[in-house]
Structure formats: structure tokens, C-alpha cells
Chain A
């Protein structure tokens, strides 16, 4: 769907490049996570991909055609979901949605979406009367109201309660199920774990690592099993290598003779990988 080759960008007043040769591809029907701490270039990458910034070097192909060759028609095919509120606050939710809908050839059933997201009953209210969570949900409706082929989502569940976050995540998965492609940017690693088929970690204007969440966890995790067991009045821990576990007599002996309290594989989390790859801990 997208092929990004050696993307470089420098803001007019910056002495150095913000993007320093970013390359990746996004396949059709994929949810692709673009992750990294603030200031590493992921917003710049997204802004270039939604044609807000045009003076870039390198190439971006969308459906095998260079992005520079697309005019405003490109926006008929994409949907952009912002983290910040983006609606006319003195208009009602319905008026906002209707205004934007008219700009597109393809139009989604927004009433049904609003019902699903629990804001249909409030559609006649002005947006400035909406809570933060309601505005986030309305942002999502705005992003998909043209039935886009590609969705660019920036923190789509931030500020939502778990139930509404679940609905949005389900809708994103359904979007993928019907062939939609998503570029997701978020700091919520649980969302990344649940949604993304592949993720790219950015650091210092470059792609530091790109793979599936599962492969990243295997690569960066320790292949160990930590066992917590009772011995008399105290609890003790033992660590076993996962690869030789099936032949490890000590492990079987422990399981047979001791009361096991807990047993955990030492698979790493995406949070740990984020910190390790991006070096955010060092700087933070």
C-alpha cells in the first residue's frame, strides 16, 4: 500500500534533518504501528504521508504512485484521526459530521457509528458541551466518515474509559478485516500489542527496529522461566532456561517436590522494548 524509501526532511529553520533516511512499507490490510518518544520524527513522517508537508526528499509510493503526484483527491481515500479535538465547537456533533461528510464521494453510515460509540443521543448537542472522551469518539467518526482505504490514527483511545476504548479497537480491527490499512501512532503499548500486525520503533529520525510485536518480544525477551515456590515458611525463586526445560531434571524435581506459587516465562513487554530501543530511559 505504502512504500517509503529513504525519507529525509528538514524543517526550514532547523539546522539538521528531522528525518534521516526513513524506509518502511505498509501492506494493504495491515495495522502498522509507528512508535517512539516525542521528537523522533513520527509526527513528521505522518504529516508527510498525509501531504501536510511536501518538501521532503526520498520517495513515498502509495498504490505504486509517488505521493507528490496526488492532488486533493488523495484525501478522498484517506482518513485522519487526530489526538486533539478538531471540531467546530459551536456546531452540534451532527452538524459537524454532516458538514465534513458532504466533502466526500464515499459516505459512511455515521448514525450507526455514533450509536455504537454512544454519542448518538448527544448528536444535537454542541461539541463544546461534549466531554473529552466524547470528543475523542467523535474524532474517530470524523476520521472514518468517508469510508477511507487508509486510516492515520494518532492516539485513538487516549482519554477513553476501557469500555469505549474496547469499542474503538474493535472498530479498527473490523476496518482491517474489510481490507482497510491503518497507520497507528500511540504511546499505549497495550493497544499496540492488541492491534498492530507490525511496528516500527523510531529513534533520532530513523527507524531503529521494525517487526511484528511477537517477534520483537522473542528477540528482546529472555528465554527463561521464573518459578516461585514455597520452602518451609519462606518463598524462593528459581530460573530455568526455556530451551532446555524439557530435559531439565532440576525443574521437574522442583515441580514434583515443592509447592509452586507462580510460574512466569520472562517474555518482555513492548514497554520494555520501547525503552530499550528508543533509549527514552537514558534521556528521560
Chain B
């Protein structure tokens, strides 16, 4: 566990030095721009939508960026021959990703509180963001492991967005308005994510919240185990084999 905190602080230090924090802040400012340009005073409905787009995409991207940086400059080689366990390695990256999502949430929420009208359960939203970011950081690991380079990761991420993220988004803004499609979307983790994010506005049935929580908690556990297994193969591949 001691090593976990050392790696975690190392990750945080590198996030700052590699300007990942800056990039994340710029994205948050872009979202503020979107909120600013929204003429609707009460942004309770669109706020979870922005958080949904930010958390799901940024979590995948951030994990990929940090791993490909390590790969590119060779530091991954030396990380693999330290006493760091693969569990600590994965968890530290996931934790930093979750933290980044939480910071974005806080920035956006403060803006919304000061300059707009918003009425949602912040604690509930915070919990949802943590879970959704954790789940998608683990998705990020798996997509990164199966991508040869950063471009391949971006392509894989686009596929994930088009197949799983976009349909759920379109459903919530009522562009997709068909019961069968809505039912099919329950198999997507992004639907579970959206339900939990919207639960903070009071717009979710209890069974839906239980479904969303169960999906993402169990899903995260399964993805974590998969990511650990795939890490072995990735480590062998990146050791120059």
C-alpha cells in the first residue's frame, strides 16, 4: 500500500509536468463556455449531459495518454522491474483519472451555482462521477492495451463513442425516441452511467439506480481483473518482445 501512494503522488506530479492538468482545465473551460452560451437559465437538465461526455471520454483518454507517454519515453520499461505491483499501477492511474474528473465536476458545478440555476444532489452526482470515471478508466486500460499506438487508441475510442456513448446521449436528448432501442441500450455501460448521473436530478426510478450501481460496480470489478490479466501481455509486448 505504501507503494500505491508513492506511485499516486508520482502520477499527480507527472500529470502537472506533462500539462495533462492544463489540458483537463482547458476542457473544463470549454464546458464552461458551452454553459455560458446556453441561454436557458436553469441548466439542471443539461449539466449531467456535459458531465457524461466529459467523464466517459476524458477517463479513457487520460489513461491512454499517460501509458503512451511512459511507453514512448521508455519509463514503462523501468517501471516493470520495480517492486510496484500491477494492482498498484492500475489503481494509481485510475485514482488520478477519477480525481481529474472530480476536479472538472467541482469547477463546472461552482460555475453553475454562481452564474446559472441548478438544482441537483451534488453528493449523488459526485458518487456517480467517481464510479463512472473509475469504470471508464478501466475501459481506457483495455483499449490502450489493444492499441499499438496513440492513433490506434483514438480510433478505438471513437468506436466506443459511436457504438456506446452516442446512442445513449441521443436517447436522453430525445433524438432516439423508440422504446425498443431504449430497452436495448440497457446493455450498454454508458446507459448505466447516464442513469446514475441523472439520478442526481431526481429523474430515475429506484430500480434504475440499483441497476446502474450494480452494473458499474460489478463491471468495474470484472474490468479490473481483465485489465490485470491483459497487463501481463502488454508488459511482455512493451518489454521489447
Contacts and interface: CB of A to CB of B under 8 A. Distances in A.
Contacts of B70: 88
B85 interface: yes
B230 to A, nearest CB: 14
B84 A52 contact: no
Given A75-B83, A89-B73, A103-B6, A47 B241 contact: yes
A164 B83 CA distance: 30
Given A80-B78, A84-B77, A89-B73, A52 B83 contact: no
A72 B85 contact: yes
A124 interface: no
B58 to A, nearest CB: 20
Interface of B: 3, 6, 10, 13-14, 17-18, 70, 73-75, 77-78, 80-85, 232, 235-236, 239-241
A87 B73 contact: yes
A82 B84 contact: no
Interface of A: 11, 43-44, 47, 50-54, 72-73, 75-76, 78, 80, 82, 84-91, 95, 99-100, 102-104, 142
A86 B239 contact: no
Given A47-B241, A53-B241, A103 B17 contact: no
Instruction: Say what secondary structure dominates the interface of chain B.
Output: helix
Contacts of B240: 43, 47
A31 B80 CA distance: 24
Contacts of A54: 232
A52 B236 contact: yes
B10 A104 contact: no
Nearest to A90: B17
A86 B75 contact: yes
Contacts of B235: 52
Among A11, A50, A52, the most chain B Cβ lie within 10 Å of the Cβ of A52
B77 A86 contact: yes
A103 B83 contact: yes
B83 A88 contact: no
Given A47-B239, A75-B83, A99-B10, A86 B78 contact: yes
B74 A90 contact: no
Contacts of B232: 54
Contacts of A84: 74, 77
A86 B80 CA distance: 11
Given A43-B240, A85-B73, A75 B78 contact: no
